[in-house]
Structure 1
Amino acid sequence: MTISTPLQARISAIGSYVPSRILSNADLQTMVDTNDEWIVQRTGIRERRLAADDEFTSHLCIAAVQNMLSRYPASLDQVELIIVATHTPDLPSTPVACQIQAHFGLPETGAYDLNATCAGFAYALHTASALVAAGVHRKILIVGGDALSKITDYTDRSTCILFGDGAGAVVVERETDRPAFLAHHLGSDGSGGKHVYRTGLSTQWQGTPLTGDGKLVQNGREVYKFAVTTVPQGIQKLLEKSGLPQTAIDWFIPHSANLRIIESICEKSGISLEKALYSLEYYGNTSAASIPLALDLGITEGKVKAGDTLLFYGFGGGLTHAGLIVRWG
């Protein structure tokens, strides 16, 4: 396989936000037939954050960008495009990206939402890095955010124990001296779309009737099989494309779906679980927000340092998956 040419782009800023309301395993025990030991054993999740009744994805995303601005004051200067990865927009026909543009008053800025569910942030990062490296745009704001509590059925113990709300934001801009985007790999298996979905205008998937009444429905066993097979294969392709040995990866940052999935991916890939960064223990599965939340936790905890090589991998509904190897800082 030909080794990829690094893209002349880098991540130059990051911010994140989670709502203040905590839904603990003990809280869930009063709502459905479950308990803390059962949830932790099967998922690794102890708490998740839930948006307030009047708080939606746009609010989470704006707060994440505001957090980024407080840490990187010039991060929005000359931003030309906003991409929001989400599958829970406030309104079906109004992009969350446009609400961010309006809130911050960013002039002459394009804006759109991207829906690749839990792989959305990785897809958005790939899109932004390619556009910047090609010279189409100089600077792009990416936000991954979801308010999954709005579409979760809290009578279904197989799904309500998993999901939380949050958002993470990054800026991608031109970098010619030390290109930071070393490799990418994308894929999908549309035949598996029936395993993670929520009904909308249609209640069918390729002719198959669906249930759920607009709430998130997931076949956890099938998603597990997809992830633990597809992601290790994708990781191997990323390493081949980058020309890097596995030992060169400082941190593995997968979508925080379930700790058991991450453990299996690490085992099959030969990556030490100690190198895995995830945000699920206290935030739950936050879909498109999970990777930037995990990255920001790694930075604030002093784990991720300038020059570190990171391997991102998102996977989710569709079924979609996407991975990137990126040098940080």
Structure 2
Amino acid sequence: MTQVLRSVVTGVGGYLPSEVVTNDDLAKVVETSDEWIQERTGIRQRHRASPDQAVSDLAVEAARQALERAGRTAADVDLIIVATTTGDLTFPATATIVQRKLGAPVGIAFDVQAVCSGFVYALSTADGFVARGRSKCALVIGAETMTRLMDWTDRGTCVLFGDGAGAVVLEPQAGQGTIDDRGLLGFALRADGTKQDLLYVDGGVSTNGQIGHLRMQGNQVFRHAVVNISEAVIAAAADAGVEVSSVDWFIPHQANSRILEGVARRLGIDEAKVISTVAEHANTSAASIPLAMAKGVEDGRIKPGQLLLLEAMGGGLTWGACVLRL
């Protein structure tokens, strides 16, 4: 059998800022309550970056943990892709700032912007380098400071988001081209720009020169999320040559518990197979999937050799799914 090169996850890391904002804390600044938030979202708390923490600082902490768990150092890294909506600066790319702060050597570094779907998009992009022998050690990072995009008078959105970062190390390994191989096995990426008004930020460099605030039509996003994500998951599983029912762990974007449960139910995935961390850190956009992966690895649920199914949906609208064997 002809060997093929696979992009294998060899290390996973996560980082959450030290400041915890509970639902009761939010109830002091906006008309809401712990009961109202938990009933509709499943969220209990979120983390908020300190004023002197840039998103690159969060990314660096997650990257260092992922590298340590992979048995690598920054000196090994030749590719850095950061998925973020909340970069340090308009330019340069946050990935280049992470490269500098890590002390990584000259290599490839750039950002991917697909909002909450960014990590899945970034994984697929990195696969184009690693599985083709163009990278020997890649860092794929999802990092966000979403609290800085919030309108703190809008209780429908400000309660949903938090800050954090997650990272994985990808390295090339030979496989047999079968579903038993370790590594990234299948993808499905989607976008529909006609749905922009459902979830967006009302500011930008070339429109009004402002940062803006996040705006969302929650009910419409929920409806599209459950239907579209389910389609992408099925397509990614088909691309990998596996059945959805065969996955060991379903690791969805941590938007809110209702979407997680709705997608799992539509796909017939056992609730016991769902990794959910949204209660602890809310929606951290591109960081949420790797944060959930890191939690599952840390607590021993996710083990080497297991089949993982990742999915996300974000502004754009963008959405996608990935199947990988750890």
TM-score, normalised by the number of residues in structure 2: 0.93
Post-superposition CA distance 1:64-110 (Å, at most 9, x none): 12223443442534321110000101111121111111112211211
Aligned to 1:305, the other structure's residue is in SS state coil
CA–CA distance in structure 2, aligned partners of residues 311 and 6 of structure 1: 21
Aligned pair partner of 1:108 in 84, 100, 106: 106
1:141 corresponds to 2:145: no
Which residue of structure 2 aligns with residue 196 of structure 1?
A: 199
Which of 22, 25, 28 lines up with 2:23 in the alignment? 25
2:93 is aligned, of 92, 95, 117, to 95
Residue 148 of structure 2: aligned partner: 150
- Give matches, 1:92-241, under 5 Å: 92-177=90-175, 178-198=181-201, 199-203=203-207, 214-241=212-239
Q: Residue 278 of structure 1: CA displacement?
A: 2.4
In 2, the alpha carbon distance for the partners of 1:323 and 1:30 equals 38
> What CA RMSD, in Å, does the superposition of the two structures yield over aligned residues?
1.7
Report if aligned partners of 1:190, 1:319 keep a CA contact under 8 Å in 2.
yes
Q: Does 1:50 align with 2:48?
A: yes
Unpaired segments ≥5 residues, structure 1: 205-211
Runs of 4+ residues over 3 Å off in structure 1: 69-73
Q: Which one of the candidate residues 297, 316, 319 is aligned to 1:318?
A: 316
Aligned counterparts of 1:169 and 1:226: Cα–Cα separation in 2: 27
Show the counterpart of 1:208. Answer: none
> Bigger CA drift: 314-323 or 288-297?
314-323
8 Å contact from structure 2 (residues 162, 283) kept in 1:
yes
Moved more, 67-76 or 242-251: 67-76
Percent of paired sites with the same residue = 39
In 1, distance between residues paired with 2:242 and 2:70?
31
The residue type paired with residue 200 of structure 1 is: G
Matches of 2:63 and 2:50, distance apart in 1: 19
Cα distance change of structure 1 residues 275 and 179 upon mapping to structure 2, 3 Å threshold = closer
One of 249, 254, 257 as aligned partner of 2:255: 257
SS at match of 1:60: helix
CA distance in 1, matches of 2:65, 2:184: 24
2: CA distance, partners of 1:134 / 1:49 = 38
CA contact (8 A) 2:5 2:172 kept: no
Deviations, residues 26-63 of structure 1 (Å, cap 9, x unaligned): 11111111111110110000000000111120111111
Distance 2:288 2:9 in 1: 17
Q: Which runs of 5+ in 2 are unaligned?
A: 176-180
Mapped contact 2:22–2:46 kept (Cα < 8 A): yes
How far 1:213 moved relative to its partner?
6.7
Moved more, 101-110 or 317-326: 101-110
